């Protein structure tokens, strides 16, 4: 069976990695730019298991296991600086305590709910006003999206997967040397099944395949600061946001390397940010958005007045209109597997959702990840995209 995967971000490469481990599949990855040339290379790199929803936790714990595999086998640099989520009300405290129990059952030994005193010991500069405590995962942290993708390309290349960069997919027709022919600006590729893992371009590629998907591509910025010499400790990733519990987007920041801090605003839901065309949006940071974060940081880290703002960048959170990740056969053509909608959280889950998409591609059903049936694309999404 010939499978063509469109997109060499974390998800497309995760699909290809899983396909490479299956018998009877010849896999080709087509990428219009270069590995991690989309959202994956523009992310803040956080890998996080600190979630309160059991489904989310199961996928994330497995995702971090896969990342640790890549660390062991290929030296992927997982910087385990810790992840701390602020708890501001009693319901969130209870949900976080449950999360810790679930994490124990899933093999995460070191996560804890900590009180404000312990927060201050770990992050002495942090203003803990209004915080009851935090959900603390000392062995979560961040990685480099480009490094991850390059390691995956090497690994799947060694397993016989062809990766074609600077090759833009333009359409799909029936027949040829296999069930379908995938058209690109650099020739045609035979395919029996095609996986559309084009991130923010999922809608555009889907349209060219007559397998439409409605995307809501939110533009998000991240900012870089130089830390004063006097800090003397490593900032974990601190997030004023607990998924499933916090309604609005919240500030996050973390140490970057040895001397910098990266910060931004994050929500797993649509945050009302500008919706953009992935081929035409401003990739720098805007001063008005930066000012919001600079102001929040000043209030959150009041002792760090001399934090030097260094500019920033913008990329896309690829949200699917379905409101969650979408993994599964397209309702109009089950030979097209849709894989996307990872929004602002693809690095922890990309490899696992890639495995699920590979199962759909190879077997037409889920085997190892039956619980991810819930991520199938609803039939109405295709119709809405056509009508809308
Ligand atoms: C500022 C910012 C901060 C973020 N921080 C985090 C974070 O800390 N942690 C986290 O987990 N997530 C974070 N994210 C989100 C994360 O980057 C995404 O969830 C993830 O990268 C999506 O991966 P993907 O493989 O689906 O898409 P992409 O990485 O965009 O990959 C899609 C690929 O498809 C290719 N493509 C598109 N069209 C075609 C075509 N026609 N033919 C061939 N190839 C094509 C593109 O070039 C691209 O390389 C952040 C995102 C941004 C913007």
Predicted confidence (pLDDT) per residue in 38-70, tens digit: 999 999 999 999 999 999 999 999 999 999 999
In this predicted structure, what is the pLDDT of residue 40? Answer: 98
Q: Given a cut of 50, is residue 386 above it in pLDDT? A: no
Determine what percent of the chain is predicted with pLDDT higher than 70. 98
**C-alpha span between 69 and 65 (Å, rounded):** 6
The predicted model gives 323-341 an average pLDDT of 97
> Which secondary structure element, helix H or strand E, spans residue 267, and what is its range?
none
Determine what percent of the chain is predicted with pLDDT higher than 90. 93
Other beta carbons less than 10 A from residue 124's beta carbon: 12
The secondary structure of residue 275, as a DSSP letter, is B
Q: Which atom of ligand 1 is nearest to the CA of 34?
A: 49
In this predicted structure, what is the pLDDT of residue 380? Answer: 64
| Ranges 8-12, 253-257, 300-304: which has the least confidence | 300-304
Confidence of residue 303 (pLDDT cuts 50, 70, 90): confident
**C-alpha span between 22 and 25 (Å, rounded):** 7
Helices (H), 48-137: 54-74, 90-105, 116-122
With tokens 């600077």, the residue in question is 166
**C-alpha span between 8 and 36 (Å, rounded):** 6
Q: Name all residues whose Cβ lies below 6 A of ligand 1.
A: 6-12, 30-33, 37-40, 42-46, 168-169, 197-201, 205, 220, 222, 315-318, 340, 342-348, 350
Query: Residue 217 to residues 243, 269, 379: CA-CA distances in angstroms?
Result: 20, 12, 21
Q: Whose CA is nearest to atom 12 of ligand 1?
A: 345
Q: Which atom of ligand 1 is nearest to the CA of 314?
A: 1
Sheet holding 133-137, edge to edge: 112-115, 133-137, 83-87, 237-239, 250-256, 260-266, 215-226, 308-320
The predicted model gives 219-247 an average pLDDT of 93
Averaged confidence pLDDT in the chain:
95
In this predicted structure, what is the pLDDT of residue 378? Answer: 81
The predicted model gives 205-218 an average pLDDT of 97
Confidence of residue 247 (pLDDT cuts 50, 70, 90): confident
Q: Given a cut of 50, is residue 388 above it in pLDDT? A: no
């Amino acid at each position: 069976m010939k499978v063509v995967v469109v997109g060499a971000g974390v998800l497309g490469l995760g699909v290809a990695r899983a396909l490479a481990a299956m018998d009877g599949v010849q896999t080709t990855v087509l990428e219009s730019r270069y590995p991690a040339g989309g959202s994956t290379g523009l992310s803040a790199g956080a890998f996080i298991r600190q979630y309160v929803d059991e489904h989310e936790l199961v996928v994330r714990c497995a995702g971090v296991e896969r990342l640790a595999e890549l660390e062991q086998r290929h030296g992927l640099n997982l910087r385990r600086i810790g992840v701390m989520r602020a708890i501001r009300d009693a319901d969130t405290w209870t949900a976080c305590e449950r999360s810790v129990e679930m994490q124990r059952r899933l093999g995460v030994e070191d996560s804890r709910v900590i009180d404000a005193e312990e927060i201050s010991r770990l992050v002495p500069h942090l203003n803990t006003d209004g915080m009851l405590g935090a959900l603390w995962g000392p062995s979560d942290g961040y990685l480099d999206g480009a490094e991850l993708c390059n390691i995956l390309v090497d690994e799947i290349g060694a397993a016989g997967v062809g990766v074609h960069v600077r090759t833009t997919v333009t359409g799909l027709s029936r027949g040829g040397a296999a069930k379908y022919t995938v058209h690109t600006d650099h020739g045609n590729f035979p395919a029996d099944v095609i996986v559309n893992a084009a991130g923010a371009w999922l809608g555009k590629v889907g349209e060219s395949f007559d397998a439409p998907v409605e995307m809501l591509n939110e533009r998000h910025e991240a900012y870089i600061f130089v830390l004063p010499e006097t800090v003397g400790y490593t900032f974990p990733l601190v997030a004023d946001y607990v998924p499933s519990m916090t309604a609005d987007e919240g500030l996050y920041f973390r140490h970057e390397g040895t001397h910098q801090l990266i910060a931004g605003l994050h929500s797993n839901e649509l945050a009302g940010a500008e919706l953009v065309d992935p081929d035409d949006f401003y990739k720098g940071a805007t001063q008005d958005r930066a000012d919001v974060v600079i102001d929040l940081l000043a209030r959150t880290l009041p002792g760090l007045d001399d934090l030097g703002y260094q500019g920033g960048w913008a990329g896309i959170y690829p949200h699917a209109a379905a409101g969650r990740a979408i993994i599964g056969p397209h309702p109009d053509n089950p030979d097209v597997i849709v894989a996307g909608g990872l929004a602002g959280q693809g690095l922890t889950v990309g490899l696992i959702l890639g495995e699920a998409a590979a199962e759909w591609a190879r077997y037409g059903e889920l085997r190892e990840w039956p619980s991810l049936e819930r991520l199938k694309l609803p039939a109405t999404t295709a119709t809405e995209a056509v009508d809308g």
